[in-house]
Amino acid sequence: MPDVLPDLSSGAQQSHLLSMLSDSGARRVLRAPSPDLGIAEHLPFPFFAMVGQVEMRTALLLSVINPAVGGVLLIGPRGTGKTTCVRSLTDLLPYIEVSTCPEGCLPDDLDDGGDSAMCEECRRKLAAGEPISRLEPVKLVELPLNARLDDVVGGVNERIAIQQNRVRLELGILARADQNLLYIDEVNLLDDVIADAILDASAQGSYTVRRGAMSGTYRSRFVLIGSMNPEEGRLRPQIMDRFGLRVPVQGLVDRQERYEVYQRVRRYQLNRRRFLAEWAVFSASAREEVILARELLKETVLSEQAIEIGLALVQGLGIDSHRAEYAMFEAARAHAAADGRDVADLRDIRAVAPMALRQRRSQFMVDFFARQFDEDAAIFSQIDTLTSTAEKDAAEK
Ligand SMILES: [Zn+2]
């Protein structure tokens, strides 16, 4: 690791959002007042009631602020709060405009792509002044462990096919994940075919299903969140590379923090509603800040120094994948926006570089390119020898 980054983390200005993360250790216990701000029915554990695990929560928060970071992979043993933490994100998710059409048409499509960018039905509705979208909170869509390919990409609705003698394609999980978060627990145990379908959709933002003469193209722009226990099998390198940020998640080491986790989980289990009410004020203000950060992100740029040192860092570490700096720069912009700044600087690079760059370097590729270099050198040396022999022969004649 080249020592290029000055330590700016201490004394740095942090926004409410970021400082709430680092403050949620055991020593800041339940200072929240408890007005009832209206609680959703799902009742996941509150994001800010998680103790410690700052890097995991920062990575998840950044991916909510800026989906372009390309998702988060959480790597660690069972029981360390990975799934709880992912589910708790629903606490912070903003509202977005969601299409009511199976093909995912939105009013903006007309401006962006003209008539052909929208299905006939939606063009008719818009012309008649009917809505084709509604506001909905971003959702967390979980991929069930036993999902089949048809569940993921969608398939033929057999009930309609039999009853009405016509074929209709059903929306799959990928289409329902559009504009939402898609969570895959134990992503390393996922069937290869399903993993490939998900990664293709995630890379392209859409996918096409063909069944006989029928086909449908669905939007599928989602933030991919995966978790895995490395004891239970490795993840194919090409899947690993697709996750923008990777966070190793260990159990807490501080005894006081572990006891605080126990107490909070116990309170939550005893009475979820009351527990959530105690944390609602945090959740509400964090949701506000996420919305502000998402707005600010549109204008947030990287400083010259952040670009220069970021690129030098990737090169210095011998990382080939261009996704490395993409994830790092997008995460740095999100980190700055979360901190209320419109310029991402070295502080932000420093905060996000480990999560964006770790486990990117492949010894196999280092060796592969080294061997290629040797082979090329041998080829040129042969050419040189043959050329000089030919020249000598020519001179002697
Ligand atoms: Zn439509």
| CB neighbour burial string for 150-173, b if at least 16 within 10 angstroms, e if fewer | ebbbbbbbeeeeeeeeeeebbbbb
Distance from the alpha carbon of residue 103 to the mean position of ligand 1, in angstroms: 5
Q: What is the pTM of this model?
A: 0.78
Distance from the alpha carbon of residue 91 to the mean position of ligand 1, in angstroms: 30
The pLDDT of residue 10 is above 60:
no
CB 60 within 8 A of CB 225: yes
Catalytic residue, chosen from 323, 341, 358, 361, is 323
Distance from the alpha carbon of residue 241 to the mean position of ligand 1, in angstroms: 34
Q: Give tens-digit pLDDT for 302-316.
A: 999 999 999 999 999
For the chain, which residues make up each domain, given as ranges? Answer: 16-363, 372-397
Q: Give tens-digit pLDDT for 157-196.
A: 666 666 666 666 778 888 888 888 999 999 988 888 898 8
CB 58 within 8 A of CB 29: no
Q: What is the DSSP string of 13-32?
A: ---HHHHHHHT-STTS-S--
Based on the residue annotation, tell me whether 234 is a catalytic residue of this protein. Answer: no
Residue 14: its pLDDT value, please? 54
Distances (CA, A) of 378 to 152, 341, 367: 49, 53, 17
Distance from the alpha carbon of residue 215 to the mean position of ligand 1, in angstroms: 15
CB 85 within 8 A of CB 252: no
Q: Give tens-digit pLDDT for 329-350.
A: 999 999 999 999 999 999 999 9
CATH level 2 (architecture), domain 16-363 = 3-Layer(aba) Sandwich (3.40)
